[in-house]
Amino acid sequence: MIRSALVACTVAVALSGFTPVSAQEKPKKNGTPDPNEVICRKEAVLGSRLQTMKTCMTRAQWAEQRQLDRQNIERAQVGSCQRQGGC
């Protein structure tokens, strides 16, 4: 009984750290979201099943971070073929 309660609590804590982005993004009356609105997201910490890290940035900063992440991924994928002399 205690083990099942512990498992249920662990699952509840793990799932509560993930909030959908669509629930946080509420557009203004004219249909465009405010780029200066601060959005906080909880992300799971690698190596831990329970610990989360809260990161707060503006919408514009989140968009810039997504763009930088994409550029880094593309650079890593394309750069590996060029360094080896072709794919």
Give the model's pLDDT for residue 31: 83
Residue appearing with tokens 């991924």: 73
Residue 71 and residue 84: Cα distance in Å, rounded? Answer: 20
**Cα-only R_g, the chain:** 19
Two structure tokens written together for 87:
């794919």
Q: Count how many residues are written for the chain.
A: 87
Instruction: Enter the DSSP assignment of 49.
Output: S
What pLDDT, on a 0 to 100 scale, did the predictor assign at position 47?
Answer: 93
Q: What is the pLDDT of residue 30?
A: 78
* pLDDT tens across the length of the chain (87 residues): 444 444 444 444 444 544 445 445 555 577 889 999 999 999 999 999 899 999 999 999 999 999 999 999 999 988 766 655 665
In the chain the beta strands, taken as DSSP E runs, fall at: 38-44, 52-58
